[in-house]
Structure 1
Amino acid sequence: MHLPRFIQCVSILMLSASLGGVSSAQAAPSSGHALAAVDRSPTVVPTERTGTAPSVAKTDLPEPARGSQGRILFILASSKVHGASSLPASISFGEVVHAWDTFQAAGYSVDFVSPDGGAVPILDPYVSKDMEPRLKDGRIMDGLRNTAKPAQVDPARYRAVYYVGGSNAIYGVPEHPVLQNIAMHVYERNGGVISAVCHGTAGIVNLKLSNGQALVAGKRTTGFPEEHEDQGAAYFREFPFLIRKTVEARGGTFRALDGDQPYAEVDGRVVTGQNYASAKPVAEAVVEVLRKLADRQPGRGAAKN
């Protein structure tokens, strides 16, 4: 696959939503294939590290348009390498695109956040042939080049969070306290949905409810299991933890299929997908859960589960 060249487009930001946000754009699912050590440079590289922000700040956006369903926050990783190595790492572009398309079609606006803010890395092997044209989609690419920093995000504005997978998803996001606070605000105070796909499930394993219990405890989840990794590869030795093992250690149930077919688990307001092919089903499941919540609680009150 040749290294795609981005064409800068002036984006018409989709800032219509019932819950405002930052770094507004709309995204779609990306690649969550078994990780491979690829000797390529990122198409997009992250900005310099800024460290962990101590608090969550509010930002002002135009009023949402009538008929919009609300906002969904995509959480992406900033790391462009595996751990302390020089092995390149990337978000899964397709997992962004497929989910973005699904949420946009359902009337939701999408914003992007990453630990460092700014541009996130996109490696050539994580962009399938059918996804290459979307690298020219300014609505998505402007958001991926200008992700918000966690401290810029007002979590009160979101109906759901969606953890994007890719080879870098296990670094920087799972342990980030501000991102954790954002996700749990959406879940507990907004009565919203927490979702993740493929390696993005790494982002939810450390989340805790206000009572101190792990979010995944007693929940059915899925993600990219360690038995599907190339465990003899250099990248695998950089993993700070294993997704299945950690979910189970936190008291959750982890389920996965043997093949590459789509597979998603929905347990209350926690929605997870196993692999790249599961990005669209995860987004569709999130939309369905939100519709049911809206039917029961049109005033956006807190929900159980």
Structure 2
Amino acid sequence: MFAKKIKDDWKIISKTATNEHSIQHGKRILFIVSNVHFHGTSSLPVGASFSEIVNAYHEFKIAGFTVDFISPEGGAIPLSYINTSNELQKKYLYDADFMHAIANTKKPSDVTANNYKAVHYIGGSSAMYGVANSQPIQNLVMDIYENHNGIISSVCHGTAGIAFLTLRSGEFLVSGKRISGYPDEYENPKKEYYKQFPFKITETIEKHGGDFNYAPRNTPYIEVDGRVVTGQNYLSSALVAKKIIQLIN
């Protein structure tokens, strides 16, 4: 309702509907991102893939989920692969609430495991640094997975984050499971960025007993093995999110 004072009298000049149906249902997803700005000890910039964040985030948002972000250190994170000509990316780049969440990621100690239905490791080459070896993140993720029946997921280089996850039995999470991510074969071993990687994704997954699978370049591809959902690249992000939603529902 809107009123305006006219000649000392308040007059109602319009009415608007304010009661809108909300699709939010209270279920939460946890996105895991890296704080690292550069490849290893080099000056080569690196960041979390904005396209992978947005493609997955949008699917969860329209399905009524709340998405929270954590990083090893909390706070703002570097971003890469931003395309303002992409309609969906542009939409979220100018979404104040979304960008506030990106600029204020939580620390692992700020969140409680039983609040989340799934975790999602975001790619971009920054995912190779600081995430897989973060014990607080590993502990939180395995708490969600083992104690609260949660789902573990990743896309592209985000799969680096699950390579060292260990079950309470001592076995690697990926052991005996079909896994996807950005394959070593598609990297350029002659480039300085790759020389900075602390480990190789395909090699490590297979060393830990996983069955690593992927498709031709620039092709969407996902693997679903129980409550572990993984995708090859940014084109797979929305598919991974949709599969997680299906599993939860």
- TM-score category, normalised to shorter length: 0.7 to 0.9
Unaligned runs of 5+ in 2: 1-21
**Superposed, which structure 2 residues align to 1:242-281 within 5 Å?**
242-281=200-239
Q: 1:118 is matched with which residue: 41, 58, 75?
A: 75
Q: Deviations over 1:73-104 (max 9, x none)?
A: 00000000001111100100011111111011
The corresponding residue for 2:195 is 237
Q: Find the residue that maps to 1:94 and give its secondary structure.
A: helix
**Superposed, which structure 2 residues align to 1:50-65 within 5 Å?**
none
- Cα distance in 2 for partners of 1:154, 1:279 equals 25
Q: Which runs of 4+ in 1 moved over 6 A?
A: none
Q: CA deviation at 1:134?
A: 2.4
Is residue 2:129 matched to residue 1:174?
no
Q: CA deviation at 1:67?
A: 5.9
**Deviating more after overlay: 130-139 vs 104-113:** 130-139
- Cα distance in 2 for partners of 1:193, 1:107 equals 17
**Residue-pair matches, total:** 225
Amino acid corresponding to residue 161 of structure 1 in structure 2: V
The corresponding residue for 1:151 is 109
Q: Deviations over 1:211-258 (max 9, x none)?
A: 111000000000000111122111000001000000000001000112
Q: Find the residue that maps to 2:152 and give its secondary structure.
A: strand
Higher-Rg structure is: 2
Higher helix residue share: 2
The corresponding residue for 2:32 is 75
- Determine if contact 2:29/2:67 at 8 Å carries over to the other structure: yes
CA RMSD of aligned residues (A): 1.3
The corresponding residue for 2:154 is 196
Q: 1:101 is matched with which residue: 58, 64, 69?
A: 58
- Cα distance in 2 for partners of 1:231, 1:203 equals 21
Is residue 2:159 matched to residue 1:164?
no
**Deviating more after overlay: 126-135 vs 99-108:** 126-135
Amino acid corresponding to residue 208 of structure 2 in structure 1: R
- Determine if contact 2:180/2:212 at 8 Å carries over to the other structure: yes
- Cα distance in 2 for partners of 1:87, 1:133 equals 28
Q: Deviations over 1:115-168 (max 9, x none)?
A: 111000013xx1123024421111211100000011111111100000000010
Shift of the 67–119 alpha-carbon distance from structure 1 to 2, 3 Å rule, reads closer
Identical amino acids, percent of aligned pairs: 46
- Cα distance in 2 for partners of 1:120, 1:190 equals 28
Q: 2:82 is matched with which residue: 127, 133, 137?
A: 127
- Cα distance in 1 for partners of 2:247, 2:26 equals 13
TM-score scaled by length of structure 2: 0.88
